[in-house]
Chain A
Amino acid sequence: MSGRWKLMALPLLAAALCLYPPLVRAAEPPADEPAGEERTTTRPSEQPATQESEEGDSPATRSRRREGSFLKERGPEIIELTARHLLLAFMAMLLATLIAVPLGVALSRVRNEFTANLVLGVVSIFQPIPSLALVALAGALFLALGLPTIGILPGLVALVVYALLPILRNTFTGIRQVDSTVIEVARGMGMTERQILHRIELPLALPVIMAGIRVGTVWTVGVATLVTLIGARSLGILIFQGLSGGHIELILAGALPAVALALGLDLFLGRFEKWLTPTGLRSASGNGV
């Protein structure tokens, strides 16, 4: 059945990207800036040093010159942070998918509607929490547990928690919405419960699950700008530096790549979703079963 290997495609792709050497290399801080991490994350207010030295020029030439030198000066850092941002989002999505899809499948098996709704409800609690507050809570949790609040881990936890719900909910509803007569026929023909899951339910739910992963990815790329606040390096560093120093280029250098990542991934995953949709469902109706 074609659905089964397609199911593995996304986790494999994400895992491959997480290990892709150029991406990992780009995510390493540039060697000639050893203090980079500490400076940018903890004390962004020190930045506007460059601005003062250009005081004497007219505003136009100043900004032109600054643009050129800005990209030259911060270019490698922007690339590094973009790569890190992407890597962080991928890792979070990989983990969230690995947790949420099996959990969603298990949940769809629960006969007791109350239990299923309870789990979905508990996960849904995280959704209305403003993303900034969730990030802060993750930081607080790590502090309270005496774990380091520097590095990728607190941010990753926050992102995974945030991405869980759309994937979990879509896996659950995707499987639940599979036509019950189709499942009954499969059972009546002598498929085991496992075969029904693998050959019927998952392939038919795949487009819906994928839509959840897509939504989760876009959210994660967005929230990843905030986890800078709890120690993870991402494009958020540039944005917060820029905001606190009134430095438009820095803000844009952080925001534009983040926007591009979100739009690009959304587009790519949309294509991917279409490719995953079983051929027999494509002609009938776009997304439904």
Chain B
Amino acid sequence: MIVFEHVWKTYPGGVEAVRDLSLEVERGETLVLLGTSGSGKTTTMKMVNRLIPITDGQILVDDEDIMARDPVELRRGIGYAIQHIGLFPHMTIAENIGVVPNLLGWAKPDVDERVDRLLEMVGLPAEDFRDRFPSQLSGGQRQRIGVARALAGDPPIVLMDEPFGALDPITREQLQNEFLELESEIKKTILFVTHDVFEAVKMGDRIALMDAGELQQLATPKELVDSPANEFVDQFLGQHRFQLSLLTRTVRSILDAAGTDGRAPQQRPEDYLAVRSSLIDAMDLFKRTGRSEVPVYEGKSFRGMMTQRALLDAVSSVLGEMGGEG
């Protein structure tokens, strides 16, 4: 879907922001560009929609060299959301979301319908929010609009630059979860930039860890955490290793190991675990509810009950593995 081939970005003055980057973002996956500031991750992302010109190498979108395409038309087919959101302060929420559909020349009823659907999708009732202005929304609401706006033209590819970065931790986590849910329905190819390793592990199908313009490791979150490719990756994960290990292990892995127990509740209760939830989520849920076992669901179907005992065993085995490593 997006292919980087030996891409270089050199700024005047000789600063090499991106050095010989080659990687491929596959259709429908969320690839996270992870790194500290100055690692070249944002530059990498902005080269895809030609906000930053490439110095050398090439980028293919849908097998076509982006330099051969008209930048304006290229950008209209790629969703774009950033940390500072950049909502247009003089436009209503509906106008903000409708920008790309309007640029694409959609008929007005279609734009209106799309705006309403997206507002529902990000959990903001259309009749309440359509005609408000960005200054009348909270940070979390603005960020939701930013995401909705990026999806408005129904682009196959979405670029997201720390889209949840400016939020408080609780709102951020809420939006991350909502986005994961949303993402599993809409299935876009997403290039996601963050400096937060927890966010990367949570959001990414794969993570590309960058440093000083170079790709350090490209791997699934679990591989990255379990087997760092080099010294840098190891240091980057640092003292968060244990937490990250728990975050990369899903409830599914325990269920498969421990087998399931079939006493299904009448209907899905409020407190339940999804199979894709991490062990951290599971620990949180046990702590919050004080129960000794909770139901696990895959989508709407019941998969079994998980006991606190099974979870603690899994956690201590993770700890054991880490101790074994050194």
Chain A interface (Cβ < 8 Å from any Cβ of B): 1, 3, 179, 181-182, 184-192, 195, 199-200, 203-204, 278-281, 283-284, 289
B133 within 8 A of A: yes
CB distance from B265 to the nearest CB of A (A): 46
- CB atoms of A284 and B89 under 8 A apart: yes
Question: A204-B89, A279-B133, A281-B135 are contacts. A189–B100 as well, Cβ < 8 Å?
Answer: yes
B75 touches A188 (CB 8 A): yes
Considering only residues 57-115 of chain B, those with a C-beta below 8 Å from chain A are 72-77, 80, 82, 84-92, 95, 99-100, 103
- Asked if B133 and A191 make an inter-chain contact with CB atoms under 8 angstroms apart, the answer reads no
| B88→A200 contact, CB < 8 A | yes
- Pick the contact of A179: B49, B74, B80, B86 (CB < 8 A): B86
When the two chains form their complex, are residues B73 and A190 in contact, meaning their CB atoms are under 8 A apart? yes
Task: List the A residue with the shortest CB-CB distance to B90.
Answer: A278
Taken together as a complex, chains A and B put the C-alpha atoms of A179 and B73 apart, in Å, by 24
B4–chain A nearest beta-carbon distance, Å: 18
Bound CA–CA A289/B135 (angstroms): 11
Task: For A181, give its contact among B75, B86, B135 (CB under 8 Å).
Answer: B86
Q: Within the complex, what minimum Cβ distance (angstroms) separates A206 from chain B? A: 9
Contacting pair A280 B135 (CB below 8 A): yes
On chain B, the residues within 8 Å of A179 by CB distance are: 86
Determine the distance from Cα of A187 to Cα of B78 in the docked complex, in whole angstroms: 12
Chain A interface mostly helix, strand, loop or mixed? helix
**Considering the chains assembled together, what is the distance between the CA atoms of A289 and B88 in angstroms?**
10
Q: Complex: how many Å from CA A187 to CA B50?
A: 10
Measured in the bound complex, the distance between the Cα atoms of B91 and A279 in whole Å is: 8
- Are B76 and A190 interface neighbours, CB within 8 A? yes
The answer to whether A283 and B135 have CB atoms under 8 Å apart is yes
Nearest 6 interchain pairs by C-beta: A278-B90, A280-B133, A190-B76, A185-B86, A190-B75, A284-B135
Which one of A3, A184, A204 lies within 8 Å of B51 (CB-CB)?
Answer: A184
**Interface pair B72/A190, CB less than 8 Å apart:** yes
Instruction: List, in ascending order, chain A residues with CB within 8 A of B89's CB.
Output: 182, 204, 278, 280-281, 284, 289
A284 and B89 CA atoms in complex are apart in Å by 9
Task: Report A-chain residues with C-beta under 8 Å of the C-beta of B149.
Answer: 189
Question: Which chain A residue shows the least CB distance to B92?
Answer: A280
Q: A189-B76, A190-B76, A280-B135 are in contact. Are A203 and B90 (CB under 8 A)?
A: yes
**Residues of B near any A CB (own CB < 8 A):** 46, 49, 51, 72-77, 80, 82, 84-92, 95, 99-100, 103, 133-136, 149, 159
A203 to B95, CA, bound (A): 14
* Neighbouring A residues of B95 by C-beta, 8 Å: 1
Show 28 residue pairs from A and B whose CB-CB distance is below 8 angstroms, ordered by the A residue.
A3-B90, A181-B84, A182-B88, A182-B89, A184-B86, A185-B82, A186-B86, A186-B88, A188-B46, A188-B159, A189-B76, A189-B149, A190-B72, A191-B103, A192-B72, A200-B88, A203-B90, A204-B89, A280-B88, A280-B89, A280-B91, A280-B92, A280-B135, A281-B89, A281-B135, A283-B135, A283-B136, A289-B89
A289 to B89, CA, bound (A): 8
Least Cβ–Cβ distance between B157 and chain A, in angstroms: 12
Q: Whole-angstrom distance from the CB of A235 to the nearest CB of chain B? A: 39
B87 to chain A, nearest CB (A): 8
List of A residues within 8 angstroms of B136 by Cβ? 283
Cα distance A281–B51 in the bound complex, in angstroms = 27
Contact present for B100 and A190 (CB under 8 Å): yes
A185 near B80 with CB under 8 A, answer: yes
Further contacts, 5 of them, CB under 8 A, given A188-B75, A188-B159, A190-B103: A182-B89, A185-B82, A186-B86, A195-B103, A281-B135
Q: Which residues of the other chain, B, contact A187 by a CB distance below 8 angstroms?
A: 51, 75
Residues of B with C-beta under 8 A to A283:
133, 135-136
Q: A184 to chain B: which residues have CB within 8 Å?
A: 51, 82, 86
Whether B90 pairs with A280 at a CB distance below 8 angstroms is: yes
A281 partner residues in chain B, CB cutoff 8 A: 89-90, 135
The CA of A289 and the CA of B82, in the complex, are separated in Å by 19
For residue A289, which residues in chain B have a CB less than 8 angstroms away from its CB?
89
**With contacts A189-B99, A284-B135 known, is A279 near B80, CB below 8 A?**
no
Which of A182, A186, A190, A280 has most B Cβ within 10 Å?
Answer: A190
**Contacting residues, chain B, for A199 (C-beta < 8 A):** 88
Determine the residue in chain A with the shortest Cβ distance to B133: A280
Chain B neighbourhood of A189, CB < 8 A: 75-76, 80, 99-100, 103, 149
Q: How far is the CB of A217 from chain B (nearest CB, A)?
A: 24
Q: Is A280's CB under 8 angstroms from B82's CB?
A: no
Q: Which residues of A contact B86 (CB under 8 A)?
A: 179, 181-182, 184-186
